[in-house]
Structure 1
Amino acid sequence: MTAHPKQPPSAGALSAFAGLHHAEEPLLLPNAWDCASARALAGQGFRAVATTSLGVAAAAGLPDAEAATREETLRLAFTLGSEPFLLSVDAEGGFSEDPDEVAEFARELYAVGVVGINLEDGLGPADRHAAKIAAVKEAVPGLFVNARTDTHWLGDGDATDTLARLDAYQQAGADAVFVPGLTDLRQITTLVRHAQVPLNVLYAPGGPSVPDLADVGVRRISLGSLLYRRALGAALEAVAEIRAGRTPVGPTPSYREVARQVAP
């Protein structure tokens, strides 16, 4: 695969990514954890691909959501940021509690072609997270900021707290707001109507389908760590079949197909 020069995303790329959040169909955003998975997903026709912090951390043997993978995240962004597809990066809480340091990390992502960043509040103070968002938007105005609140992911899903946090993040300049862990369609509909920017939710097996989410106005549907965990599950299933004397079933890319995904 031909290497692309490292440079900031074009105005067209930034506009295209933002536009995917306002298209007729919601943006179904798959999350990759390495070069091969990102390029394979793009090869399936996805115009935009995101990273998953859990997948990146697990592949490096580091903990997720503890600001331990700044360099690994930047290294992957450096490799993928100038690809033909649009790349959004899951940056946990920005790998710092200092808004200026988060803004500097965002600048580094932008410099290698990344079009979007996902920043999570981890249920920390809303004003601190809002300050991070504002700092990023001041440093790199064109970078699409998806502001995540963990009220449903880590907390008890308090509706008042959720709305207050979303309001604060929108006022700080967030381009979209993300509420992972929320699967109740009535609550999702309430947030869609309340938000002034596109609402992002996390797809959950057994939860609302993509058409259901589209019907209530969700504009971005992320897969988070699901694909990474499914890949790990498929590996365990395959080795169990081999151990039992059976041939594993299911799609298996060839050696050469994978090698082509990571060739310089």
Structure 2
Amino acid sequence: MTTFLDLHVPGDPLLLPNPWDAGSARVLETLGFRALATTSSGFAATLGRSDGTVTRDEALAHAAAVVAAVGVPVSADLENGFADDPEGVAETVRLARATGLAGCSVEDATGRDDAPIVDAALATERVAAAVEAAGPDFVITARAENFLHDRRDLDDTIARLQSFAEVGAHVLYAPGLSTADEVRAVVSSVDRPVNVLAWPGLPPVPELAELGVARVSVGGAFLFAALGALVDAGRELLDRGTYEFAATSRVARSTINAALA
């Protein structure tokens, strides 16, 4: 049987879109994606809130709803594990396993503006605790968040990822990499599958495959693209009083109706 981890093949990257609810998950599954992942920013936006304000219970209930809606593996964006200490992260992983998820990610971000990144040693302890709680089949993606917090320190990012690999992380992820050289440096420095985030300036998927990337995810981008279409339609109705958006919506509706049938 092919497992979620088996889908991570360096040079043949798993394209992992991030739905924001059960409906979008089913649409993406119907399009042919082999696995999905939740998005903390996208889910928070559906609640009218900013990223980082969702509770653990809310995130796990959301993940369970996505899992129940589809037949492909689902990984969850569980932010920093909703805990500062390793045992708290481990408890989050144990609860995540109970939802039917295939895996989850754990960040080294604190959620605080004054000190946005967890100390490297503690960050590694947190990943180790997550791996221990995961058991044999639950995939832990360890994230080094430097680049999302204006700390473009590639050496420190790589060192963190290497430490995460040493304690058993299954997949490594440094969101915010945006050049082929940055991606190449990360991939060549670790011995685990590497996930990259679709990001302005990032090379296209075929080039990422040549660089040895094993997974490409989109974060909240699909949700915000959908909201961008909503804004455009709203402005058209308000400013021009026309209905060109209706033609596009008919095409999308047929696809969605087929997915939800």
Q: Normalising to structure 1: TM-score of the pair?
A: 0.87
* 2:64 maps to which of 69, 78, 89: 78
2:205 alignment partner, one of 183, 205, 210: 210
Match of 2:108, as an amino acid?
D
- Asked if the contact 2:36–2:75 (Cα under 8 Å) also holds between the matched residues in 1, the reply is yes
**SS class of match (2:60):** helix
Separation in 2 of the partners of 1:256 and 1:193? 40
Q: CA deviation at 1:259?
A: 11
More helix by share: 2
Q: CA deviation at 1:52?
A: 0.7
CA displacement, residues 216-260 of structure 1 (integer Å, 9 cap, x when unaligned): 111111111110110110001111222312221435443994697
Q: Which runs of 5+ in 2 are unaligned?
A: 110-116
Q: Which runs of 5+ in 1 are unaligned?
A: 1-11
Q: Paired residue for 1:50?
A: 37
Matched, 1:108 2:95: yes
Aligned counterpart in structure 2 of residue 90 of structure 1, from 53, 57, 77: 77
SS class of match (2:146): coil
Match in the other structure for 2:191 = 196
**By how many angstroms is 1:127 displaced?**
1.9
1:56–1:72 contact (8 Å) kept in structure 2:
no
Q: Which of 159, 166, 171 is the aligned partner of 2:166?
A: 171
**Residues 27 and 259 of structure 2 are in contact (CA less than 8 Å); yes or no, is this contact kept in structure 1?**
no
Identity %: 38
Match of 1:129 in 2: 123
Secondary structure in 2 matching 1:78: helix
Q: CA deviation at 1:88?
A: 0.4
CA contact under 8 A between 2:165 and 2:172: conserved in structure 1? yes
Q: What SS class does the counterpart of residue 65 from structure 2 fall into? A: helix
1:203, CA displacement in angstroms?
A: 0.9
CA RMSD of aligned residues (A): 2.1
User: Which deviations, in whole Å up to 9, do the C-alpha atoms of 1:139-160 show, x marking residues without a partner?
Assistant: 2222101111112111331122
Q: Which residue of the partner structure matches residue 254 of structure 1?
A: 253
Letter in 1 for 2:28: L
Task: Give how far 1:105 is off.
Answer: 1.6
Distance 2:183 2:259 in 1: 41
Per the TM alignment, residue 177 of structure 1 is displaced from its structure 2 partner at its CA by 0.8
- 1:182 equivalent to 2:181? Answer no
TM-score norm. by structure 2 comes to: 0.88
What letter matches 2:55 in structure 1? T
Give the deviation of 1:189 after TM superposition: 0.7
Partner of residue 36, structure 1: 23
